[in-house]
Amino acid sequence: MFWSVVLISIGLYIGLVIILMVFQAHFIYFPQREITVTPGEIGLSYEAVYFAAADGVKLSGWFVPAERSRAVILFCHGNAGNISHRLESIQVFHRLGLSTFIFDYRGYGQSEGKPTEQGTYLDAEAAWSYLIQKKQVDPTRIIIFGRSLGGVIAAWLAHVHTPKVLIIESTFTSIRDIAADLYPYLPVRLLSRFDYSAMDYLRQVNCPVLIVHSRNDEIISFSHGRRLFEAAHEPKEFLEITGTHNEGFMTSARHYEGGLDFFISKHVGK
């Protein structure tokens, strides 16, 4: 009886390992195709934007202008949903006098293809190029912003190009680190085919950096935010907020907006 239980347990464990090896992407990306609401429906004017990544994949996004805009936010969103699930953040940026360019990675919303790590980097690169070439935005007026998985992509983009500032919110140090936190009973560091190392990219970023994280984040531990802050070069600042992983910026509304405004005013201008 004992050995039967042992063999069944070993079999189940091996099965979990195989599932993790084969279906890794399904543990990382949770895209939704349907655009449920637009900025126009909350009173913001916007432009639907379509552009292509270097490998030819067609992408979509929104450009939401702010009157007398002091800078443009290039918004790299998280791993679930699509751009229509980020209107609360777009409203925050609009109140701060910032135009927003938010785009969907391949496989999300109206963007073609299916998500991959290198694909998301190509998509961010294409979004940057669109702002520079099509919108004629000076790099010194671009703020790269990334939340959760988008924070890693934002850090990657900021180590390739130099924006005015980089803001990373609720982001993990690397995909292997967060996987080890979430699945401590599996050899995820050895099995992972993904890198997504914000730490490595952040060490090569040469612009002011703001790290935002909540002690109440139930998905990505507060320690990830602190380690990212330690890895970043000066000038850098840390904004501690409260609330859950997905709602911290809303829970901490006034403190959050005030912290962003202070950092942006200091490095970009009022």
Distance between CA atoms of residues 166 and 232, nearest Å: 10
Q: Please indicate whether residue 26 is annotated as part of the active site.
A: no
Rg (C-alpha) for the chain, rounded Å, is: 19
Q: Please indicate whether residue 245 is annotated as part of the active site.
A: yes
Start-to-end CA distance of the chain, whole Å, equals 72
Among residues 148, 192, 197, 214, the one annotated as catalytic is 148
Amino acid found at 86: R
Among residues 123, 217, 224, 252, the one annotated as catalytic is 217
Among residues 245, 255, 261, 267, the one annotated as catalytic is 245
Give the residue from 263, 200, 201 showing the smallest Cα distance to 235: 263
Tokens of 95: 């109140």
Distance between CA atoms of residues 150 and 208, nearest Å: 18
For the chain, the DSSP string reads -HHHHHHHHHHHHHHHHHHHHHSHHHHH-EE-------GGGGT---EEEEEE-TTS-EEEEEEE--TT-SEEEEEE--SEE-GGG-HHHHHHHHHTTEEEEEEPPTTSTT--S---HHHHHHHHHHHHHIIIIIS---GGGEEEEEETHHHHHHHHHHHHS--SEEEEES--S-HHHHHHHH-TTS-HHHH------HHHHHTT--S-EEEEEETT-SSS-HHHHHHHHHHSPSSEEEEEE-S-TTTHHHHTHHHHHHHHHHHHHHHT--
Annotated active-site positions, please?
148, 217, 245
